[in-house]
Amino acid sequence: MKKARRQVETPVVRRVPQAAEAALKRCQKGLDAVTFDKAVENSRRAGEARELLVAANAPVRKLIEQDRKALAALRKVSDIRRAGVKGRSMSVYSQTFGPFPQWSLNLQPGLHVFSPPYDLDRPGPTSGSPTKATADRETGEVFASASEDGNAHGFRAASASVVIIFQPSVIGTLSVRPYCKYADSWMVAGLHLSAHSEGHLTITASRDDNGQVLDSRGVVLWDQTTESDVNSGDDDGVAWPPDFQVNFLAEPGRNYLVAITASVSGDQSGDQSIGPFPSWSVFSGCISASVPWLVAELRP
């Protein structure tokens, strides 16, 4: 008597867009913890360091204030630095490829390629002004910005995400590997007061039912601090595996949220001279990114 062959179910990764909005409500706390909250905390620490430097440099300021020539020279340096800041602008271009027809490729059992439109966009959260955050699930583009403003004081932060919901057909390791194009621009400037600016791309996977973060990986695009200088930069490139991917154990019939997030944050004193002593600091930063396609692979 022949034994019946055991049937092995083909691994399939399905999209579940109708579950996206409810899933984000359950997952946003965990998502923010590894993206926006992390950016805010980094900038808060930079602000604490700035305040400590103000106290530490107090004796030096008093000495310079007593010397008219030194004080006049420092004011000229301040004018030169401010002119340098005014001559710089954020030169980020959009990464949008325009509207996409929705399509997917099933290359082999368990291996899929997806393109926009994705399941949800999340512009924000933001903190402080001026900041800007936009996201578009139709094109897979995110944009986060904190523009230069001498009137702002303290930390500012902005983030933006596109979200995809996956559901596996069998238990296995689900690997999500996006192709993420980006362009970024940043600036830090100051005179005897520090400024900080940083930018990140992060991919995060969470369980839909309880919001637990299963995997999160980030790419640092820039992380800059200055006390008495003017520094700026811009760049473009691709965030791609193995640096930019998530891998986690997935169960059949359960939904999993994957978010791709751009985050910008920084800290500055603004135009805040300390008595007659010329001192100030400013920052800016922005990221434009898009995900034209991603790979989702389920390995039983």
The predicted structure's pLDDT at residue 91? 54
Q: Which domain holds residue 282?
A: 13-299
Higher pLDDT, residue 171 or 63: 171
Assign 97 a pLDDT band (cuts: 50, 70, 90).
Answer: very low
Query: Is residue 121 situated within a structural domain?
Result: yes
Residue 95 reports pLDDT greater than 60:
no
Are the C-beta atoms of residues 13 and 174 closer than 8 Å to each other? Answer: yes
Q: How high is the mean pLDDT of the chain? A: 86
Tens of pLDDT, residue by residue over 155-182, are: 999 999 999 999 999 999 999 999 999 9
> What is the Cα–Cα distance from 17 to 100, expressed in whole angstroms?
16
Residue 251 reports pLDDT greater than 70:
yes
Query: Is residue 260 situated within a structural domain?
Result: yes
- DSSP state letters, 103-171: -EEEEETTEEEE-SS-SEEEEEEEESSS-EEEEETTTTEEEEEE---TT--EEEEEEEEEEEEEEESSS
Query: Is residue 159 situated within a structural domain?
Result: yes
> What is the Cα–Cα distance from 55 to 25, expressed in whole angstroms?
43
Higher pLDDT, residue 5 or 227: 227
Residue 60 reports pLDDT greater than 90:
no
User: Quick one: which of 127, 113, 110, 140 has its CA closest to 47?
Assistant: 127
What average pLDDT does the segment 121-139 reach? 95
Assign 184 a pLDDT band (cuts: 50, 70, 90).
Answer: very high
Residue 106 reports pLDDT greater than 90:
no
Burial letters 130-150, b for 16+ CB under 10 A, else e: ebbbbbbbebbbbbbbbbbbb
Query: Is residue 167 situated within a structural domain?
Result: yes
Lowest mean pLDDT among 101-110, 144-153, 220-229, 276-285: 101-110
Higher pLDDT, residue 106 or 253: 253
Helix, strand, coil shares of the chain, percent, nearest 5, are 20, 50, 30
Query: Is residue 195 situated within a structural domain?
Result: yes
Query: Is residue 256 situated within a structural domain?
Result: yes
| 213-226 and 195-207 beta bridge pairing | antiparallel
Q: Would the pTM of this model clear 0.85, i.e. be above it?
A: yes
Query: Is residue 253 situated within a structural domain?
Result: yes
Query: Is residue 122 situated within a structural domain?
Result: yes
Tell me the H-state helices in 173-219.
Answer: none
What average pLDDT does the segment 24-44 reach? 92
Higher pLDDT, residue 91 or 170: 170
What token pair was written down for 51? 């305040």
Residue 100 reports pLDDT greater than 90:
no
For the chain, the domain total comes to 1
Q: Dihedral angle at the C-alpha atoms of 141, 285, 132, 267, nearest 10 degrees?
A: 140
